[in-house]
Structure 1
């Protein structure tokens, strides 16, 4: 039934593909299961493939370290970034413009063995050092970091962050819950890490370069088609994640 609904949605969206096809550069970074550089797979790659089918445009993913991706977006060298909450980038030089949301990111604390404690509010982290990915912004913790109440320790990416936690170099990290769960399943010696409390939940969208804002109506329509057909839920479900 869902296949038939999706096919019907594609027919209804045929007008989207009538315009001249364009190529857009999409900034990716290794962020399993959302973006998996090895094999160029993952949830966001499959979403891009679906977007391409519906809109008729080509979306070329380029893998970069996250900090470099942010700089290239500012310079207009990257057109799109998937999975962004507007509040994360509102202080950037070029915040961008945004599609309608397509999914959620839930951030959780993950603890080294024997280090778990209850965290009801960000203030419960007072005096602690929290491991994060360099370049990531967390609105709930911004003031606490700025005042020195909570200390920040950066890693290059989520893989390094999880490895440092497992090696005892950090006591707690803040990370996307889906990424943490996927990592624990993939790496046996992460099994003793403790996934703790949720510290933030965000509706994420596609961040678009202001110079490419004419693309937004097509993106929004395509996302609605994918939601109605169940395509987004199907893609997330393949990786054991909810959108």
Structure 2
């Protein structure tokens, strides 16, 4: 959360769920959510198992199958360097620290620091787990997107809230839609444009801030 709430292996709530349910309704379809390991998603796309994938940026993918078309962005994701203290700090200033990161996520700005062993990655399966480990003192710093940090802090007492120290990257986030006869691709792309014009993206995001 706030991107998706998984209960017993099912996606039941969150920004991505709300967005895709609303998008499906606009084209007269029902959204069926597939929950799978992050590293298997690319294979599923190559096998045409996924019609719509939201919450993705071109810079996060190694490749995109030619049969998929990008929608317009529905939000901008800001990735932040986060710590328990509030003193401003850039990742390049860190030396010999373990940095909380999400398994399978790429961080282009930080990769040279990882490659040179200036910083050590410590992966967790989810963004929430990264923040929980930071709060528990398992490491001093972590990378988190802004929405997840705000969601985490709203459930913490003021003295235990985590702080954004600097912005690491900022990426437009969109959906990719399979371009095939059995998918209403053009209708979905038009629906995304209409949702943006009507303020529906901002309304969904506002529920989880």
TM-score, normalised on structure 1? 0.73
Distance, in Å, in 2 between the alignment partners of 1:177 and 1:214 is 33
2:194 alignment counterpart = 225
**Aligned 8 A contact 1:103 1:203 in 2:** yes
2:54 to 82, 102, 105: 82
Distance, in Å, in 1 between the alignment partners of 2:206 and 2:17 is 14
Structure-2 change in CA distance of 1:181 and 1:147 (3 Å): same
1:6 alignment counterpart = none
Distance, in Å, in 2 between the alignment partners of 1:187 and 1:75 is 42
Structure 1: gaps (5+ residues): 1-31
Please list, as runs of the form range in 1=range in 2, the aligned pairs for 1:166-181 lying within 5 A after superposition. Answer: 166-181=135-150
2:88 to 110, 118, 126: 118
More helix by share: 1
**Aligned 8 A contact 1:166 1:190 in 2:** no
1:153 alignment counterpart = 122
**Alpha-carbon shift at residue 232 of structure 1 (Å):** 1.2
How many equivalent pairs are there?
Answer: 205
Are 1:129 and 2:101 matched, yes or no? no
Are 1:108 and 2:80 matched, yes or no? yes
**Alpha-carbon shift at residue 51 of structure 1 (Å):** 0.6
**Alpha-carbon shift at residue 198 of structure 1 (Å):** 1.2
Distance, in Å, in 2 between the alignment partners of 1:126 and 1:71 is 37
**Alpha-carbon shift at residue 180 of structure 1 (Å):** 0.8
Structure-2 change in CA distance of 1:79 and 1:52 (3 Å): closer
Distance, in Å, in 2 between the alignment partners of 1:212 and 1:150 is 47
Q: CA RMSD in A?
A: 2.7
Please list, as runs of the form range in 1=range in 2, the aligned pairs for 1:25-36 lying within 5 A after superposition. Answer: 32-36=1-5
Distance, in Å, in 1 between the alignment partners of 2:181 and 2:112 is 33
**Alpha-carbon shift at residue 215 of structure 1 (Å):** 4.8
**Aligned 8 A contact 2:80 2:168 in 1:** yes
**Aligned 8 A contact 1:101 1:204 in 2:** yes
Single out whichever of 189-198 and 220-229 deviates more from structure 2.
Answer: 189-198
Structure 1 residues 157-205: Cα deviation after superposition (integer angstroms, max 9, x where no partner): 1221111111111111101111111111124488342222111111001
Please list, as runs of the form range in 1=range in 2, the aligned pairs for 1:31-46 lying within 5 A after superposition. Answer: 32-38=1-7, 40-46=12-18
Distance, in Å, in 2 between the alignment partners of 1:56 and 1:226 is 15
2:20 to 10, 26, 48: 48
Aligned to 2:31, the other structure's residue is in SS state strand
Greater RCO, 1 or 2 (C-alpha within 8 Å, sep 6+)? 2
